[in-house]
Amino acid sequence: MTLALYGQADTNSVTVKKDPRLDQLIAKQVEINEYTTREARSNVPGFRIQVVNTTDRALAIETKTKVYQKYPELKAYLLYQSPYFRLRVGNFLTRKEAEAYQKKLAKDFPQNIYIVNDIIETNPDKSQDQD
């Protein structure tokens, strides 16, 4: 838009012409991003192992650190539901998989370790990693 001030045209305006192919590129990138993130993570019903249930935040964090040191292949989830901190580990599709890890974890964490139903993260490429 140009404005005439005192009989002069506004020379401070800029006209931008967008190449219509940009819209196609943006749409394609959105499609790629959606596909890759959807494939990279999906949430399904499964099982996790609850390692600790405590009101002591420091103990929960210390236990999480120990789990990562001894079992780096397991992903740990620290949940807080007042007043309790719950540390759950793993993404197991079957109870049998969780039971195998429960036996291993019980050697290092002897206090009340049990399997819980949970919504777990799965990755199609890495689903075989947690045998």
Q: Residue 85 sits in a domain of what CATH number? A: 3.30.70.1070
pLDDT in tens, 47-57: 999 999 999 99
- Residues 34 and 47 grouped into a single domain: no
Contacts of 104 by beta carbon, 8 Å cutoff, 6+ apart: 71
The rounded percent of the chain whose pLDDT value lies above 70 is 81
Total structural domains within the chain: 2
* CB contact at 8 A, 44 and 36: no
Query: CA 40 to CA 45: how far, in whole Å?
Result: 17
Residue 41, pLDDT > 70, answer no
- Read off the pLDDT of each residue in 76-101 and give the average, rounded to a whole number: 95
pTM of the model: 0.63
Q: Give me the domain span that covers residue 14.
A: 9-39
DSSP state of 54: E
Residue 32 has pLDDT above 90, yes or no: no
Sign of CA dihedral 78, 80, 86, 88: negative
* One domain for residues 34 and 49: no
Q: Identify whether residues 29 and 46 lie together within a single domain.
A: no
Q: Of 130 and 59, which is predicted with more confidence?
A: 59
Is 28 a residue whose pLDDT tops 70? yes
**Does residue 116 sit in the same domain as residue 58?**
yes
Question: Do 13 and 53 sit in the same domain of this protein?
Answer: no
Q: Residue 130 falls within a domain, yes or no?
A: no
Q: What is the pLDDT of residue 129?
A: 45
Residue 102, H or E segment: helix 95-108
Q: What pLDDT score was predicted for residue 42?
A: 77
